[in-house]
Chain A
Amino acid sequence: MIWQNNKLWFASFFASLVPLLFLLLDVIFDNLGGNPIQALHIRLGDWSLRFLCLTLAITPIQTMTQWKGMADYRQLFGLYAFFYASLHLLVYLAVDHGFNWSLISIDIIESPYIWLGVLAYVIIFLLGITSSKWAMKKLKKNWKKLHRLVYIASVASVIHYFWQLKGNLAEPLLYLILIVLLLGFRILTWLTNQQLAKMMVPKGRDL
Protein backbone atom coordinates (compact mmCIF):
# COMPACT_ATOMS: atom_id res chain seq x y z
CA MET A 1 0.00 0.00 0.00
CA ILE A 2 1.74 3.13 1.17
CA TRP A 3 5.03 1.31 1.77
CA GLN A 4 7.29 2.09 -1.11
CA ASN A 5 10.57 0.48 -1.92
CA ASN A 6 12.36 3.76 -2.28
CA LYS A 7 15.11 5.28 -0.18
CA LEU A 8 13.94 8.86 -0.39
CA TRP A 9 10.45 7.84 0.59
CA PHE A 10 11.74 5.96 3.63
CA ALA A 11 13.94 8.87 4.62
CA SER A 12 10.92 11.19 4.43
CA PHE A 13 8.85 8.75 6.43
CA PHE A 14 11.30 8.67 9.33
CA ALA A 15 12.26 12.35 9.11
CA SER A 16 8.61 13.24 9.60
CA LEU A 17 8.70 11.52 12.99
CA VAL A 18 11.63 13.60 14.21
CA PRO A 19 9.43 16.52 15.41
CA LEU A 20 7.51 14.07 17.57
CA LEU A 21 10.74 12.71 19.00
CA PHE A 22 11.94 16.21 19.89
CA LEU A 23 8.59 16.99 21.46
CA LEU A 24 8.73 13.84 23.59
CA LEU A 25 12.23 14.78 24.74
CA ASP A 26 10.96 18.24 25.69
CA VAL A 27 8.14 16.63 27.66
CA ILE A 28 10.52 14.24 29.44
CA PHE A 29 13.07 16.95 30.28
CA ASP A 30 10.40 19.48 31.22
CA ASN A 31 11.49 21.90 28.54
CA LEU A 32 8.10 23.28 27.60
CA GLY A 33 7.98 26.39 29.79
CA GLY A 34 5.39 27.65 32.22
CA ASN A 35 2.36 26.28 30.41
CA PRO A 36 3.60 22.94 29.08
CA ILE A 37 0.16 21.68 28.11
CA GLN A 38 -0.47 24.66 25.88
CA ALA A 39 3.06 24.43 24.48
CA LEU A 40 2.52 20.76 23.61
CA HIS A 41 -0.78 21.62 22.03
CA ILE A 42 0.65 24.44 19.93
CA ARG A 43 3.69 22.44 18.83
CA LEU A 44 1.48 19.62 17.53
CA GLY A 45 -0.86 22.06 15.80
CA ASP A 46 2.13 23.78 14.25
CA TRP A 47 3.48 20.54 12.84
CA SER A 48 0.14 19.57 11.45
CA LEU A 49 -0.04 22.91 9.68
CA ARG A 50 3.52 22.56 8.40
CA PHE A 51 2.79 19.16 6.92
CA LEU A 52 -0.37 20.54 5.40
CA CYS A 53 1.68 23.28 3.71
CA LEU A 54 4.20 20.69 2.55
CA THR A 55 1.38 18.60 1.10
CA LEU A 56 0.05 21.61 -0.76
CA ALA A 57 3.53 22.39 -2.07
CA ILE A 58 3.88 19.04 -3.85
CA THR A 59 1.69 19.85 -6.84
CA PRO A 60 3.39 23.19 -7.62
CA ILE A 61 6.80 21.53 -7.30
CA GLN A 62 5.70 18.75 -9.60
CA THR A 63 4.44 21.27 -12.16
CA MET A 64 7.63 23.27 -12.06
CA THR A 65 10.14 20.40 -12.04
CA GLN A 66 8.21 17.98 -14.23
CA TRP A 67 9.22 15.37 -11.69
CA LYS A 68 6.86 12.40 -11.88
CA GLY A 69 5.96 10.28 -8.91
CA MET A 70 5.39 12.99 -6.37
CA ALA A 71 1.91 11.79 -5.58
CA ASP A 72 3.35 9.31 -3.09
CA TYR A 73 4.93 12.16 -1.17
CA ARG A 74 1.74 14.13 -1.24
CA GLN A 75 0.02 11.17 0.36
CA LEU A 76 2.80 10.67 2.91
CA PHE A 77 2.88 14.30 4.05
CA GLY A 78 -0.89 14.51 3.98
CA LEU A 79 -1.08 11.53 6.28
CA TYR A 80 1.45 13.15 8.59
CA ALA A 81 -0.70 16.30 8.69
CA PHE A 82 -3.54 13.98 9.71
CA PHE A 83 -1.30 12.24 12.27
CA TYR A 84 -0.16 15.46 13.98
CA ALA A 85 -3.68 16.91 13.85
CA SER A 86 -4.96 13.77 15.57
CA LEU A 87 -2.35 14.10 18.32
CA HIS A 88 -3.25 17.80 18.62
CA LEU A 89 -6.89 16.84 19.13
CA LEU A 90 -6.00 14.06 21.55
CA VAL A 91 -3.92 16.45 23.68
CA TYR A 92 -6.87 18.83 23.79
CA LEU A 93 -9.26 16.10 24.91
CA ALA A 94 -7.07 14.04 27.20
CA VAL A 95 -4.11 16.08 28.41
CA ASP A 96 -5.87 19.44 28.77
CA HIS A 97 -9.41 18.37 29.65
CA GLY A 98 -8.91 14.89 31.10
CA PHE A 99 -11.89 13.80 28.99
CA ASN A 100 -14.25 15.95 31.05
CA TRP A 101 -16.97 16.09 28.40
CA SER A 102 -19.04 18.80 30.05
CA LEU A 103 -16.02 21.15 30.13
CA ILE A 104 -15.13 20.13 26.59
CA SER A 105 -18.59 20.69 25.15
CA ILE A 106 -18.98 24.15 26.73
CA ASP A 107 -15.50 25.07 25.52
CA ILE A 108 -16.27 24.03 21.95
CA ILE A 109 -19.69 25.70 21.86
CA GLU A 110 -18.35 28.99 23.20
CA SER A 111 -15.12 29.17 21.19
CA PRO A 112 -15.51 30.10 17.51
CA TYR A 113 -11.81 29.51 16.90
CA ILE A 114 -12.35 25.86 17.81
CA TRP A 115 -15.21 25.52 15.29
CA LEU A 116 -12.70 26.14 12.53
CA GLY A 117 -10.32 23.63 14.07
CA VAL A 118 -13.12 21.06 14.11
CA LEU A 119 -13.97 21.82 10.47
CA ALA A 120 -10.35 21.45 9.43
CA TYR A 121 -10.00 18.21 11.36
CA VAL A 122 -13.16 16.64 9.93
CA ILE A 123 -11.87 17.35 6.43
CA ILE A 124 -8.37 16.10 7.15
CA PHE A 125 -9.85 13.00 8.75
CA LEU A 126 -11.96 12.26 5.67
CA LEU A 127 -9.00 12.82 3.37
CA GLY A 128 -6.80 10.69 5.60
CA ILE A 129 -9.07 7.67 5.54
CA THR A 130 -9.60 7.95 1.77
CA SER A 131 -5.94 8.45 0.89
CA SER A 132 -5.22 4.91 -0.30
CA LYS A 133 -5.09 3.86 -3.98
CA TRP A 134 -7.97 1.50 -3.25
CA ALA A 135 -10.19 4.36 -2.01
CA MET A 136 -9.08 6.42 -4.99
CA LYS A 137 -10.33 3.72 -7.36
CA LYS A 138 -13.55 3.22 -5.42
CA LEU A 139 -14.42 6.91 -5.35
CA LYS A 140 -13.48 7.51 -8.99
CA LYS A 141 -14.20 11.10 -10.00
CA ASN A 142 -15.49 11.96 -6.55
CA TRP A 143 -12.06 11.39 -5.07
CA LYS A 144 -10.65 14.48 -6.68
CA LYS A 145 -13.65 16.55 -5.64
CA LEU A 146 -13.40 15.31 -2.07
CA HIS A 147 -9.68 15.94 -1.87
CA ARG A 148 -10.08 19.51 -3.10
CA LEU A 149 -11.55 20.16 0.35
CA VAL A 150 -7.94 20.37 1.52
CA TYR A 151 -8.01 24.02 0.39
CA ILE A 152 -10.82 24.74 2.84
CA ALA A 153 -9.03 22.78 5.57
CA SER A 154 -5.85 24.79 5.10
CA VAL A 155 -7.60 28.16 5.27
CA ALA A 156 -9.68 27.01 8.27
CA SER A 157 -6.57 25.87 10.18
CA VAL A 158 -4.78 29.17 9.69
CA ILE A 159 -7.81 31.14 10.93
CA HIS A 160 -8.10 28.63 13.77
CA TYR A 161 -4.55 29.61 14.71
CA PHE A 162 -5.12 33.36 14.30
CA TRP A 163 -8.34 33.58 16.23
CA GLN A 164 -7.08 32.24 19.52
CA LEU A 165 -4.29 34.77 19.83
CA LYS A 166 -4.27 38.07 21.65
CA GLY A 167 -0.96 39.34 20.29
CA ASN A 168 2.01 37.67 18.63
CA LEU A 169 0.56 37.30 15.16
CA ALA A 170 3.92 36.83 13.41
CA GLU A 171 3.88 33.05 13.16
CA PRO A 172 0.33 32.52 11.91
CA LEU A 173 0.98 35.35 9.46
CA LEU A 174 3.81 33.30 8.00
CA TYR A 175 1.48 30.35 7.46
CA LEU A 176 -1.16 32.62 5.99
CA ILE A 177 1.30 33.98 3.44
CA LEU A 178 2.49 30.49 2.59
CA ILE A 179 -1.04 29.18 2.12
CA VAL A 180 -2.05 32.19 0.05
CA LEU A 181 0.98 31.53 -2.19
CA LEU A 182 0.21 27.84 -2.51
CA LEU A 183 -3.45 28.41 -3.28
CA GLY A 184 -2.54 31.36 -5.51
CA PHE A 185 -0.39 29.03 -7.60
CA ARG A 186 -3.43 26.86 -8.26
CA ILE A 187 -5.60 29.81 -9.19
CA LEU A 188 -2.88 30.97 -11.56
CA THR A 189 -2.61 27.52 -13.14
CA TRP A 190 -6.36 27.39 -13.52
CA LEU A 191 -6.45 30.82 -15.19
CA THR A 192 -3.60 29.89 -17.53
CA ASN A 193 -5.42 26.72 -18.53
CA GLN A 194 -8.53 28.78 -19.25
CA GLN A 195 -6.46 31.06 -21.48
CA LEU A 196 -4.88 28.11 -23.26
CA ALA A 197 -8.28 26.56 -23.80
CA LYS A 198 -9.50 29.78 -25.34
CA MET A 199 -6.52 29.96 -27.66
CA MET A 200 -7.30 26.46 -28.93
CA VAL A 201 -10.66 27.63 -30.21
CA PRO A 202 -10.56 29.38 -33.62
CA LYS A 203 -11.51 33.06 -33.61
CA GLY A 204 -15.18 33.94 -33.96
CA ARG A 205 -16.43 30.78 -32.33
CA ASP A 206 -17.81 30.45 -28.82
CA LEU A 207 -16.08 28.32 -26.30
Chain B
Amino acid sequence: MIIKTEPEISSSEITDEQVFKNRRQIIKSLVGLGVAGQISPLLANSDKTQTQVAGLKPTPVDVVKNYTNYYEFTFNKDDSTKLAQKLVIDPWSVEITGEVEKPTTFHLEDILKMQAIEERVYRFRCVEAWSMVVPWQGFSLANLLKQVQPLSSAKFVKFTSIYQPENMPNQEKKAMLNFPYVEGLRMDEAMHPLTMLAVGMYGETLPKQNGAPLRLVVPWKYGFKSIKAIVKIELLKQAPLTTWNQLAADEYGFYANVNPDVPHPRWSQNSERELGSGFFTQRRQTELFNGYGEQVASLYNDMDLRHFF
Protein backbone atom coordinates (compact mmCIF):
# COMPACT_ATOMS: atom_id res chain seq x y z
CA MET B 1 0.00 0.00 0.00
CA ILE B 2 1.03 3.61 -0.46
CA ILE B 3 1.99 5.33 2.72
CA LYS B 4 0.22 8.62 2.85
CA THR B 5 2.69 11.45 2.89
CA GLU B 6 0.31 14.30 2.31
CA PRO B 7 -0.46 16.33 5.43
CA GLU B 8 -4.07 16.34 6.52
CA ILE B 9 -6.16 19.04 4.94
CA SER B 10 -6.62 21.69 7.56
CA SER B 11 -8.89 24.63 7.99
CA SER B 12 -5.85 26.77 7.26
CA GLU B 13 -6.79 26.33 3.64
CA ILE B 14 -9.17 29.14 4.15
CA THR B 15 -7.44 32.39 3.44
CA ASP B 16 -7.19 34.74 6.39
CA GLU B 17 -9.71 37.46 6.59
CA GLN B 18 -7.45 40.36 5.77
CA VAL B 19 -6.56 38.78 2.48
CA PHE B 20 -10.23 38.26 1.76
CA LYS B 21 -10.96 41.87 2.37
CA ASN B 22 -8.18 43.00 0.09
CA ARG B 23 -9.51 40.68 -2.56
CA ARG B 24 -12.93 42.08 -2.05
CA GLN B 25 -11.64 45.56 -2.66
CA ILE B 26 -9.96 44.39 -5.81
CA ILE B 27 -13.12 42.79 -7.11
CA LYS B 28 -15.16 45.83 -6.21
CA SER B 29 -12.85 48.12 -8.06
CA LEU B 30 -12.84 45.82 -11.06
CA VAL B 31 -16.58 45.56 -11.11
CA GLY B 32 -16.68 49.32 -10.91
CA LEU B 33 -14.63 49.43 -14.05
CA GLY B 34 -17.00 47.04 -15.73
CA VAL B 35 -14.42 44.34 -16.16
CA ALA B 36 -15.74 41.59 -13.96
CA GLY B 37 -14.34 39.14 -16.46
CA GLN B 38 -10.81 40.31 -15.87
CA ILE B 39 -9.99 39.66 -12.26
CA SER B 40 -6.76 38.04 -13.30
CA PRO B 41 -3.63 40.12 -12.87
CA LEU B 42 -4.48 41.56 -9.49
CA LEU B 43 -5.32 38.21 -7.94
CA ALA B 44 -2.18 36.53 -9.04
CA ASN B 45 0.35 37.40 -6.38
CA SER B 46 -1.02 37.31 -2.86
CA ASP B 47 -1.79 33.63 -2.47
CA LYS B 48 1.49 31.82 -2.51
CA THR B 49 1.87 31.33 1.23
CA GLN B 50 -1.71 30.18 1.24
CA THR B 51 -0.99 27.34 -1.12
CA GLN B 52 1.99 26.12 0.86
CA VAL B 53 0.11 26.15 4.15
CA ALA B 54 -2.47 23.80 2.71
CA GLY B 55 0.24 21.26 1.92
CA LEU B 56 -1.24 20.56 -1.48
CA LYS B 57 0.94 21.35 -4.45
CA PRO B 58 -1.15 22.79 -7.29
CA THR B 59 -1.10 20.92 -10.58
CA PRO B 60 0.62 22.86 -13.39
CA VAL B 61 -1.93 25.36 -14.69
CA ASP B 62 -1.54 24.29 -18.32
CA VAL B 63 -2.66 20.80 -17.43
CA VAL B 64 -5.73 22.06 -15.59
CA LYS B 65 -6.64 24.36 -18.49
CA ASN B 66 -6.22 21.72 -21.17
CA TYR B 67 -7.68 18.58 -19.65
CA THR B 68 -11.35 19.20 -19.07
CA ASN B 69 -14.54 17.25 -19.48
CA TYR B 70 -17.12 19.53 -21.06
CA TYR B 71 -19.54 17.25 -22.87
CA GLU B 72 -21.63 20.13 -24.17
CA PHE B 73 -18.73 20.85 -26.50
CA THR B 74 -16.92 17.56 -27.06
CA PHE B 75 -16.27 14.17 -25.49
CA ASN B 76 -12.59 14.83 -25.83
CA LYS B 77 -10.71 16.40 -22.94
CA ASP B 78 -8.24 18.44 -24.93
CA ASP B 79 -10.60 19.77 -27.59
CA SER B 80 -12.80 21.60 -25.10
CA THR B 81 -10.11 24.26 -24.55
CA LYS B 82 -10.66 25.63 -28.02
CA LEU B 83 -14.34 24.83 -28.51
CA ALA B 84 -15.47 26.34 -25.21
CA GLN B 85 -14.23 29.77 -26.26
CA LYS B 86 -17.42 30.17 -28.28
CA LEU B 87 -19.53 30.23 -25.14
CA VAL B 88 -21.04 33.66 -24.55
CA ILE B 89 -20.73 34.55 -20.86
CA ASP B 90 -21.31 38.26 -20.87
CA PRO B 91 -23.81 39.30 -19.61
CA TRP B 92 -24.48 36.53 -17.08
CA SER B 93 -27.10 36.16 -14.42
CA VAL B 94 -28.07 33.46 -11.99
CA GLU B 95 -31.63 32.83 -10.93
CA ILE B 96 -32.12 31.50 -7.40
CA THR B 97 -35.61 30.27 -6.78
CA GLY B 98 -37.79 27.52 -5.29
CA GLU B 99 -38.19 27.05 -1.54
CA VAL B 100 -36.81 30.45 -0.61
CA GLU B 101 -38.17 33.56 1.02
CA LYS B 102 -36.79 35.90 -1.63
CA PRO B 103 -36.38 34.42 -5.10
CA THR B 104 -33.81 36.59 -6.86
CA THR B 105 -32.04 36.83 -10.19
CA PHE B 106 -28.54 38.09 -9.60
CA HIS B 107 -26.29 39.65 -12.16
CA LEU B 108 -22.84 38.15 -11.93
CA GLU B 109 -21.41 41.58 -11.15
CA ASP B 110 -23.70 41.88 -8.15
CA ILE B 111 -22.67 38.48 -6.84
CA LEU B 112 -19.01 39.47 -7.15
CA LYS B 113 -19.71 42.73 -5.33
CA MET B 114 -21.47 40.99 -2.49
CA GLN B 115 -19.18 38.05 -1.92
CA ALA B 116 -15.69 38.13 -0.48
CA ILE B 117 -13.53 36.20 -2.92
CA GLU B 118 -11.13 33.78 -1.27
CA GLU B 119 -8.66 31.22 -2.52
CA ARG B 120 -9.06 27.57 -1.66
CA VAL B 121 -6.71 24.85 -2.76
CA TYR B 122 -8.69 21.66 -3.25
CA ARG B 123 -7.93 18.26 -4.66
CA PHE B 124 -10.26 17.57 -7.57
CA ARG B 125 -10.95 13.85 -8.09
CA CYS B 126 -12.62 12.77 -11.32
CA VAL B 127 -14.78 9.65 -11.47
CA GLU B 128 -12.40 8.54 -14.26
CA ALA B 129 -9.73 7.95 -11.59
CA TRP B 130 -7.48 10.94 -12.12
CA SER B 131 -7.00 13.92 -9.86
CA MET B 132 -5.54 17.40 -9.85
CA VAL B 133 -4.93 20.05 -7.21
CA VAL B 134 -6.51 23.38 -8.08
CA PRO B 135 -6.29 26.75 -6.34
CA TRP B 136 -9.79 28.12 -6.87
CA GLN B 137 -11.02 31.65 -6.29
CA GLY B 138 -14.57 31.90 -5.09
CA PHE B 139 -16.86 31.92 -2.08
CA SER B 140 -19.01 29.60 -0.01
CA LEU B 141 -22.25 28.65 -1.71
CA ALA B 142 -23.90 29.01 1.71
CA ASN B 143 -23.18 32.75 1.69
CA LEU B 144 -25.11 33.22 -1.51
CA LEU B 145 -27.98 30.95 -0.50
CA LYS B 146 -28.42 32.78 2.80
CA GLN B 147 -29.19 35.94 0.88
CA VAL B 148 -32.35 34.47 -0.59
CA GLN B 149 -33.37 33.05 2.81
CA PRO B 150 -33.99 29.33 2.32
CA LEU B 151 -37.25 28.03 3.78
CA SER B 152 -37.22 25.08 6.15
CA SER B 153 -38.97 23.09 3.43
CA ALA B 154 -35.82 23.27 1.27
CA LYS B 155 -34.15 19.85 1.42
CA PHE B 156 -32.24 19.74 -1.86
CA VAL B 157 -30.54 22.12 -4.24
CA LYS B 158 -30.73 21.77 -8.00
CA PHE B 159 -28.16 23.45 -10.24
CA THR B 160 -28.65 23.99 -13.96
CA SER B 161 -25.98 24.84 -16.54
CA ILE B 162 -26.32 27.19 -19.44
CA TYR B 163 -28.29 26.02 -22.49
CA GLN B 164 -26.67 27.62 -25.52
CA PRO B 165 -27.01 25.11 -28.37
CA GLU B 166 -25.88 27.63 -30.99
CA ASN B 167 -22.46 27.58 -29.34
CA MET B 168 -22.43 24.12 -27.76
CA PRO B 169 -22.26 21.49 -30.52
CA ASN B 170 -23.35 18.52 -28.42
CA GLN B 171 -26.38 20.39 -27.10
CA GLU B 172 -27.29 21.12 -30.69
CA LYS B 173 -26.84 17.44 -31.63
CA LYS B 174 -28.56 16.22 -28.45
CA ALA B 175 -25.60 13.92 -28.02
CA MET B 176 -25.50 11.37 -25.22
CA LEU B 177 -26.58 13.43 -22.20
CA ASN B 178 -29.80 15.28 -21.50
CA PHE B 179 -28.95 18.95 -21.72
CA PRO B 180 -28.88 21.36 -20.03
CA TYR B 181 -26.64 19.65 -17.51
CA VAL B 182 -28.21 19.36 -14.07
CA GLU B 183 -26.59 18.55 -10.75
CA GLY B 184 -27.83 18.47 -7.19
CA LEU B 185 -26.84 18.45 -3.55
CA ARG B 186 -28.62 17.79 -0.32
CA MET B 187 -29.28 21.04 1.56
CA ASP B 188 -26.72 20.27 4.30
CA GLU B 189 -24.10 19.49 1.65
CA ALA B 190 -24.86 22.74 -0.14
CA MET B 191 -24.57 24.73 3.09
CA HIS B 192 -21.31 23.03 4.09
CA PRO B 193 -18.42 25.54 4.36
CA LEU B 194 -16.23 23.52 1.96
CA THR B 195 -18.81 23.78 -0.82
CA MET B 196 -17.94 26.74 -3.00
CA LEU B 197 -18.82 28.61 -6.13
CA ALA B 198 -15.69 29.41 -8.10
CA VAL B 199 -15.16 32.42 -10.38
CA GLY B 200 -11.42 32.03 -10.84
CA MET B 201 -8.46 29.70 -10.58
CA TYR B 202 -4.71 30.21 -10.26
CA GLY B 203 -5.40 33.86 -9.52
CA GLU B 204 -7.07 34.41 -12.86
CA THR B 205 -10.58 34.58 -14.20
CA LEU B 206 -12.01 31.11 -14.66
CA PRO B 207 -11.25 29.90 -18.21
CA LYS B 208 -14.37 29.02 -20.18
CA GLN B 209 -13.44 25.35 -20.48
CA ASN B 210 -13.08 25.19 -16.71
CA GLY B 211 -16.62 26.40 -16.12
CA ALA B 212 -16.67 30.19 -16.51
CA PRO B 213 -18.11 32.35 -15.33
CA LEU B 214 -19.42 30.54 -12.27
CA ARG B 215 -19.09 26.90 -11.28
CA LEU B 216 -19.67 24.70 -8.29
CA VAL B 217 -16.77 22.99 -6.50
CA VAL B 218 -17.56 20.19 -4.04
CA PRO B 219 -14.15 18.76 -3.18
CA TRP B 220 -15.26 15.52 -1.50
CA LYS B 221 -17.35 14.40 -4.47
CA TYR B 222 -16.41 13.19 -7.93
CA GLY B 223 -15.79 16.00 -10.38
CA PHE B 224 -19.00 15.59 -12.37
CA LYS B 225 -20.93 16.96 -9.37
CA SER B 226 -19.05 20.25 -9.70
CA ILE B 227 -21.31 21.67 -12.40
CA LYS B 228 -20.03 24.41 -14.73
CA ALA B 229 -21.52 27.63 -16.08
CA ILE B 230 -24.43 27.79 -13.65
CA VAL B 231 -27.47 29.86 -14.61
CA LYS B 232 -30.06 28.57 -12.17
CA ILE B 233 -30.14 27.36 -8.57
CA GLU B 234 -33.40 25.94 -7.23
CA LEU B 235 -34.10 24.90 -3.68
CA LEU B 236 -36.39 21.90 -3.68
CA LYS B 237 -38.37 19.66 -1.37
CA GLN B 238 -37.24 16.58 -3.25
CA ALA B 239 -34.04 15.36 -4.83
CA PRO B 240 -33.58 16.56 -8.41
CA LEU B 241 -32.90 14.15 -11.26
CA THR B 242 -29.27 14.75 -12.17
CA THR B 243 -27.72 14.36 -15.62
CA TRP B 244 -25.23 11.51 -15.20
CA ASN B 245 -27.54 9.71 -12.84
CA GLN B 246 -30.24 9.85 -15.49
CA LEU B 247 -27.90 8.36 -18.07
CA ALA B 248 -26.69 5.45 -15.92
CA ALA B 249 -28.10 5.31 -12.39
CA ASP B 250 -26.09 2.21 -11.49
CA GLU B 251 -22.84 3.93 -12.43
CA TYR B 252 -23.22 7.52 -11.27
CA GLY B 253 -25.04 7.93 -7.97
CA PHE B 254 -26.66 11.08 -6.65
CA TYR B 255 -24.14 11.36 -3.82
CA ALA B 256 -21.01 10.48 -5.80
CA ASN B 257 -18.82 10.86 -2.75
CA VAL B 258 -15.22 9.91 -3.45
CA ASN B 259 -14.83 6.45 -1.96
CA PRO B 260 -11.97 4.04 -2.72
CA ASP B 261 -14.01 1.12 -1.37
CA VAL B 262 -16.96 1.53 -3.71
CA PRO B 263 -15.80 0.73 -7.23
CA HIS B 264 -17.56 2.01 -10.30
CA PRO B 265 -19.28 -1.03 -11.88
CA ARG B 266 -16.67 -1.13 -14.63
CA TRP B 267 -13.52 0.16 -12.94
CA SER B 268 -11.83 0.48 -9.58
CA GLN B 269 -11.83 3.74 -7.61
CA ASN B 270 -9.08 2.54 -5.30
CA SER B 271 -6.30 4.66 -6.77
CA GLU B 272 -5.94 7.70 -8.99
CA ARG B 273 -3.46 9.14 -11.45
CA GLU B 274 -2.29 12.52 -10.20
CA LEU B 275 -2.02 14.78 -13.21
CA GLY B 276 1.34 16.45 -13.56
CA SER B 277 3.21 13.50 -12.04
CA GLY B 278 5.95 11.89 -14.09
CA PHE B 279 6.33 8.51 -15.74
CA PHE B 280 7.01 5.57 -13.45
CA THR B 281 5.38 7.28 -10.46
CA GLN B 282 2.84 5.18 -8.66
CA ARG B 283 -0.77 6.09 -8.65
CA ARG B 284 -2.07 7.79 -5.53
CA GLN B 285 -4.17 5.83 -3.06
CA THR B 286 -7.63 7.44 -3.20
CA GLU B 287 -8.94 8.65 0.16
CA LEU B 288 -12.46 8.38 1.51
CA PHE B 289 -14.26 11.69 0.84
CA ASN B 290 -11.17 12.67 -1.17
CA GLY B 291 -9.35 13.38 2.11
CA TYR B 292 -12.02 15.74 3.46
CA GLY B 293 -13.55 13.14 5.79
CA GLU B 294 -12.75 15.08 8.93
CA GLN B 295 -14.95 17.91 7.71
CA VAL B 296 -17.74 16.03 5.96
CA ALA B 297 -18.01 12.44 7.25
CA SER B 298 -20.59 13.51 9.84
CA LEU B 299 -23.01 14.39 7.03
CA TYR B 300 -23.29 10.70 6.24
CA ASN B 301 -23.11 9.19 9.72
CA ASP B 302 -25.95 6.72 9.52
CA MET B 303 -25.84 6.05 5.79
CA ASP B 304 -24.64 2.93 4.01
CA LEU B 305 -22.18 4.47 1.57
CA ARG B 306 -22.32 1.40 -0.68
CA HIS B 307 -26.02 1.82 -1.14
CA PHE B 308 -26.00 5.61 -1.36
CA PHE B 309 -22.99 5.80 -3.64
Among B182-190, B191-199, B269-277, the one that faces the other chain is B269-277
**Known A-B contacts A106-B270, A111-B263; A33 and B127 likewise in contact (beta carbons under 8 Å):** no
Q: Which residue of B lies closest to A164 (CB)?
A: B267
Stretch at the interface among B44-52, B70-78, B85-93, B289-297: B70-78
Cβ-defined contact, B71 with A167, below 8 A = yes
With an 8 Å Cβ cutoff, the count of chain B residues facing the other chain is 33
> Does B300 interact with chain A (Cβ within 8 Å)?
no
- Count A-side interface residues using an 8 Å CB cutoff: 31
B residues less than 8 Å from A96 (CB atoms): 273, 283
Overall SS of chain B's interface: loop
**Residue of A36, A40, A167 most packed against chain B (CB within 10 A):** A167
Task: Across the interface, name the chain B residue whose C-beta is closest to A39.
Answer: B78
Do the beta carbons of A95 and B280 come within 8 Å of each other? Answer: yes
Which residue of chain A is the closest to B277 with respect to CB atoms?
A37
CB distance from A100 to the nearest CB of B (A): 5
B4: Cβ under 8 A from any A Cβ: no
The A contact surface, by secondary structure, is helix
In the complex formed, the residue of A with least CB distance to B281 is A98
The contact string, 1 if C-beta is below 8 Å from chain B, for chain A 144-179, is: 000000000000000000011011111000000000
Chain B residues in 8 Å Cβ range of A36: 279
- Tell me which of A40, A111, A167 contacts B266 (CB under 8 A): A111
Indicate if the CB atoms of B63 and A34 lie closer than 8 Å.
yes
In the complex, what distance in Å separates the CA atom of A33 from the CA atom of B80? Answer: 13
* Interface residue B164 (Cβ < 8 Å from any Cβ of A): no
Structural contact, B267 and A111, CB atoms closer than 8 A: yes
Q: Is B282 an interface residue (CB 8 A)?
A: yes
Give, as a whole number of angstroms, the nearest-CB distance from A171 to chain B. 10
A37 and B271 form a contact (CB under 8 A)? no
Q: Are A110 and B268 in contact (CB under 8 A)?
A: yes
Is the CB–CB distance between A107 and B271 below 8 Å?
yes
Nearest B residue to A34 via CB reads: B67
CB distance from A25 to the nearest CB of B (A): 15
Q: What B residues does A110 contact at CB under 8 A? A: 263, 267-270
A99: nearest chain-B partner, CB-CB = B282
Assuming A103-B270, A103-B285, A110-B270, is B275 touching A94 (CB within 8 A)?
no
Flag whether A59 is at the interface (Cβ < 8 A). Answer: no
- A33-B78, A38-B273, A106-B268 are known contacts. Are A167 and B282 too (CB-CB below 8 A)? no
Q: Are A164 and B266 in contact (CB under 8 A)?
A: yes
CB distance from A114 to the nearest CB of B (A): 8
Residue numbers in A under 8 Å from B270 (CB-CB): 103, 106-107, 110
Residues of A within 8 A of B (CB): 27, 33-38, 40, 94-98, 100, 102-103, 106-107, 109-114, 163-164, 166-170
User: Would you give 18 A-B contacts (Cβ < 8 Å), ordered by A?
Assistant: A33-B66, A34-B64, A34-B78, A35-B67, A96-B273, A100-B2, A103-B283, A109-B268, A110-B263, A110-B270, A111-B268, A113-B266, A113-B267, A163-B266, A163-B267, A166-B128, A167-B71, A169-B75
The 6 closest A-B pairs by CB, nearest first: A34-B67, A110-B268, A168-B75, A167-B75, A98-B282, A110-B263
Please give 15 more A-B residue pairs, beta carbons under 8 A apart, in addition to A35-B273, A168-B76. A33-B66, A33-B77, A35-B67, A94-B280, A98-B281, A100-B2, A103-B283, A106-B270, A106-B271, A107-B268, A107-B270, A112-B266, A113-B267, A114-B267, A166-B128
